[in-house]
């Protein structure tokens, strides 16, 4: 059994390095499809938010890299790894994963076709990864200035989305249930651009614009700031993007840029990432009535 595990680890590293050559940032995964390295802060009595600033491994997708030396070091620190994860939302592809699941008892492929007919888009030829359970992962390229959040079943039952802060199990990974592999004819394709109509569906739904009286604008803005401050890991980008959209729709966006960024930083988001998210919200709301 140990020999099989060593072989699986060697293959996982080889596949991960191959993915990195294509510009995809990777991390080692265990057989459970979870990041193989545990958080170095798990025993801290009151852990502060950390995305790898401490310099140690164990921060999930924040460890992801395309640097071969760092990847080898990550896998050396987790010799039990049998797979690798590909971080979404990072350049050059700003990857978006459309996970068509089979476990929910619904026909997720049919649900996606129905969405495509209803909203007039087609999925172009792209990388398709087949899962051991019979599902499919579609790889799409997102715009550099748009943050796509993770979601489960929001688009349609059985369809999960992997966006910024999420990851996809890479082809060649071995898990408890089998091996992930690419669909025939798609292995060497580059992720295709996400159709604009589908991209709009993946973003948080816009709230009807309203114009609060100046006296209440301060309270409303403070509520948005508190909403961002209350974000947990995995929610920060999504909450910040939603709050910034609401602020710009309500006409108080410029005044709330710095308070929202400060709140996001206090919640654990890097400042450059927070400012990019707010700028993305400003662009997305610029032409809404």
Categorize the per-residue pLDDT at 3 as very low, low, confident or very high, splitting at 50, 70 and 90.
very low
58 with 13, same domain: the answer is yes
Would you tell me how many other CB atoms lie within 10 Å of the CB of residue 32? 12
What integer is the mean pLDDT of 90-106? 89
Q: What local confidence, expressed as pLDDT, does residue 210 receive?
A: 37
CB-based contact 206:281 (threshold 8 Å): no
Q: How many residues would you count in the chain? A: 289
Classify residue 54: in a domain, yes or no.
Answer: yes
Q: What local confidence, expressed as pLDDT, does residue 212 receive?
A: 37
198 with 119, same domain: the answer is yes
Q: Last residue of some domain: 161, 184, 203?
A: 203
Question: What percent of the chain shows pLDDT beyond 70?
Answer: 91
If one compares 273 and 100, the residue with the highest pLDDT of the two is 100
**Number of structural domains the chain divides into:** 3
- Determine the structural domain holding residue 23 and report its residue range: 1-86
Residue in 279, 273, 283 with CA at minimum distance from that of residue 89: 273
Angle at which helix 68-77 crosses helix 2-21, to 10 degrees, equals 160
Q: Which residues pair with 113 in a beta bridge?
A: none
Categorize the per-residue pLDDT at 215 as very low, low, confident or very high, splitting at 50, 70 and 90.
very low
Is residue 230 scored above 90 in pLDDT? no
């Amino acid at each position: 059994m140990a020999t099989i595990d060593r072989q699986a680890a060697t293959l996982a590293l080889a596949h991960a390095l191959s993915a990195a050559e294509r510009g995809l940032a990777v991390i080692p995964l265990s057989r459970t499809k979870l990041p193989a390295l545990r958080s170095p802060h798990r025993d801290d009595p009151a852990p502060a938010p950390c995305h790898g600033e401490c310099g140690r491994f164990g921060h999930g997708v924040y460890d992801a890299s395309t640097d071969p030396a760092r990847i080898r070091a990550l896998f050396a620190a987790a010799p039990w790894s049998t797979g690798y994860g590909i971080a979404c939302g990072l350049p050059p592809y700003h990857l978006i994963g459309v996970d068509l699941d089979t476990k929910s008892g619904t026909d997720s492929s049919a649900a996606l076709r129905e969405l495509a007919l209803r909203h007039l888009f087609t999925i172009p030829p792209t990388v398709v990864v087949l899962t051991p359970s019979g599902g499919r992962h579609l790889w799409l390229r997102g715009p550099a200035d748009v943050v796509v959040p993770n979601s489960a079943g929001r688009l349609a039952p059985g369809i999960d989305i992997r966006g910024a802060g999420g990851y996809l199990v890479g082809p060649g990974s071995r898990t408890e249930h089998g091996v992930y592999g690419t669909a025939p004819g798609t292995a060497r394709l580059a992720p295709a651009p996400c159709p604009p109509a589908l991209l709009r569906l993946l973003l948080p739904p816009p709230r009807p614009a309203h114009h609060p009286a100046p006296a209440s604008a301060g309270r409303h803005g403070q509520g948005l700031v508190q909403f961002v401050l209350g974000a947990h890991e995995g929610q920060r980008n999504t909450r910040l993007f939603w709050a910034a959209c609401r602020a710009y729709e309500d006409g108080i966006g410029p005044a709330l840029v710095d308070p929202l960024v400060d709140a996001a930083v206090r919640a654990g988001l890097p400042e450059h990432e927070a400012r990019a998210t707010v700028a993305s919200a400003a662009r997305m709301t610029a032409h809404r009535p």
